[in-house]
């Protein structure tokens, strides 16, 4: 593909659309063409900011021959309809997380993408983080031996933010549009666990409102078991004011520690010599902690901005997607299983059915 890739935006409901557009303005192989939003004020303002043509009619974007790819950043419960419509028009698709709120919708999206043969990628920025990529490299290479326990925190503090709770982003806390904050945000960590350890076999979870009552839930802890008996502890809260230690990977030959890996931790002041990743190995115990001095993002926005480039390369050059439609479905299934366990008080096994 020698010409610039024409991009359309399907809604600015999700704020990540702004980060994606801002980043793509600097790409010389991309042209931002058109945007649809059913909130005309929001849509016009964002379209003007990024040089897009605004339209209140969805089909104007989907039927535009200058649009070869779309970013689906609408409310979560609308992803399925928008992805199916885009696939039927032959558009490549970058879909915001979570993929959908039900496995039925995920399957509908997968069928449409496969039927049309279009490029599709999930927007999981954790897979683009160099520190996360290094952790996966170390685990896959056996740097810690057999993995026993992994704890991963992926937290935000948005439920303490009045503008988030009562502003235009309020749809995030509507159970019909987004289910709950654990679905909205823990899906990142669920994908990370599966990327790191493979498919889980079961989950036990607690998900509830602990510090607030403005959303369906504000905190969750899920314990996943994986095929090689590993335990994965996923901690997610939307009320975390600060943090530091983000990931712990314990094996029989070593330990990996990651700091500054989520929103509360990377936004906090830190020592000038802070190191985001360290490795301890049993057969090199005298070396102590081996540091990997990667740059530490100043905000989670830097990680979010890393999403568009792999998608563009996927479409333009046929490079494998960083996260597929199946990856999107599996992460939703992991979260739905956690919700079911929290509701029933039982360990839930995978795969799960759509209804209890």
- 204-248 pLDDT, tens digit each: 999 999 999 999 999 999 999 999 999 999 999 999 999 999 999
Domains and CATH numbers, the chain: 5-118 (3.40.50.720), 130-298+334-344 (3.30.360.10)
Q: How far is CA 172 from CA 75, 89, 130, 175, in A?
A: 8, 28, 28, 8
**Angstrom distance (rounded) from CA 147 to CA 91:** 41
Question: Could you tell me which residues are beta bridge partners of residue 223?
Answer: 204, 233
- In a 3-state reduction of DSSP, which class is residue 75? coil
- How many other C-beta atoms are found inside a 10 Å radius of the C-beta of residue 84? 19
pLDDT block averages, 10 residues each, the chain of length 356:
88 97 97 98 98 98 98 98 98 98 98 98 97 98 98 97 95 98 98 98 98 98 98 98 96 98 92 95 97 92 96 95 97 98 98 76
By C-alpha distance, which of 86, 78, 67 is closest to 39? 78
Task: Please return the burial class of 309, using the count of CB atoms within 10 Å of its CB with bins 0-12, 13-18 and 19+.
Answer: middle
Six-digit token string for 192: 């990370």
Task: Quote the pLDDT of residue 321.
Answer: 95
**How far is residue 186 CA from its own chain's centroid?**
8
- 245-295 pLDDT, tens digit each: 999 999 999 999 999 999 999 988 999 999 999 999 999 999 999 999 999
**Angstrom distance (rounded) from CA 292 to CA 275:** 7
Question: Could you tell me which residues are beta bridge partners of residue 94?
Answer: 71, 121
Q: Are strands 30-36 and 53-55 parallel, antiparallel or unpaired?
A: parallel
- How many other C-beta atoms are found inside a 10 Å radius of the C-beta of residue 140? 9
Q: Per DSSP, which regions of the chain are E strands?
A: 5-10, 30-36, 53-55, 69-72, 92-95, 120-122, 147-153, 200-208, 219-226, 231-237, 245-251, 254-259, 277-281, 290-292, 348-349
Q: Are strands 254-259 and 245-251 parallel, antiparallel or unpaired?
A: antiparallel
Q: Are strands 348-349 and 290-292 parallel, antiparallel or unpaired?
A: unpaired
By C-alpha distance, which of 308, 348, 94, 325 is closest to 201? 348
**Angstrom distance (rounded) from CA 351 to CA 219:** 24
- In a 3-state reduction of DSSP, which class is residue 10? strand
Task: Quote the pLDDT of residue 251.
Answer: 98
**Angstrom distance (rounded) from CA 290 to CA 287:** 7
Long-range pairs for 105-109 at CB < 8 Å and ≥24 separation?
105/79, 105/80, 106/80, 106/325, 106/328, 106/329, 106/332, 106/333, 107/329, 108/80, 108/84, 109/79, 109/80, 109/83, 109/84, 109/325, 109/328
**Angstrom distance (rounded) from CA 288 to CA 283:** 10
CB 152 within 8 A of CB 232: yes
By C-alpha distance, which of 265, 191, 245, 211 is closest to 220? 211
Task: Quote the pLDDT of residue 2.
Answer: 55
């Amino acid at each position: 593909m020698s010409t610039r890739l024409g991009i359309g935006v399907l809604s600015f409901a999700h704020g990540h659309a702004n980060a994606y557009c801002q980043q793509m303005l600097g790409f010389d192989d991309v042209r931002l063409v058109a945007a649809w939003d059913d909130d005309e004020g929001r849509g016009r303002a964002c379209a003007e900011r990024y040089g897009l043509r605004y339209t209140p009619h969805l089909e104007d974007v989907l039927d535009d021959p200058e649009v070869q790819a779309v970013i689906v950043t609408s409310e979560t419960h609308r992803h399925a309809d928008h992805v199916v419509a885009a696939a039927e028009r032959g558009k490549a698709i970058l879909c915001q997380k979570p993929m959908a709120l039900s496995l039925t919708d995920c399957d509908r999206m997968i069928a449409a993408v496969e039927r049309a043969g279009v490029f599709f990628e999930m927007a999981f920025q954790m897979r683009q983080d160099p520190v996360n990529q290094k952790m996966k490299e170390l685990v896959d290479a056996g740097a810690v031996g057999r993995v026993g326990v992994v704890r991963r925190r992926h937290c935000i503090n948005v439920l303490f933010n009045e503008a988030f709770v009562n502003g235009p982003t309020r749809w995030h806390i509507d159970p019909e549009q987004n289910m709950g904050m654990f679905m909205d945000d823990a899906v990142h960590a669920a994908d990370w666990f599966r990327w790191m350890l493979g498919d889980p076999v079961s989950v036990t979870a607690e998900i509830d409102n602990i510090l607030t009552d403005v959303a369906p839930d504000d905190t969750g802890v899920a314990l996943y078991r994986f095929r090689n008996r590993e335990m994965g502890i996923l901690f997610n809260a939307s009320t975390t004011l600060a943090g530091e230690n983000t990931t712990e990977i314990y094996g029989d030959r070593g330990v990996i520690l990651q700091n500054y890996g989520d929103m509360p931790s990377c936004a906090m002041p830190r020592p000038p010599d802070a190191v985001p990743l360290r490795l301890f190995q049993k057969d090199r115990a005298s070396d102590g902690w081996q540091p990997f001095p990667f740059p530490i993002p100043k905000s989670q926005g830097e990680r979010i901005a890393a999403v568009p480039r792999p998608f563009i390369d996927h479409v333009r050059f046929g490079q494998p997607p960083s996260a597929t439609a199946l990856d999107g479905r599996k992460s939703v299934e992991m979260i739905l299983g956690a919700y079911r366990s929290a509701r029933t008080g039982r360990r839930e096994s995978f795969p799960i059915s759509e209804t209890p």
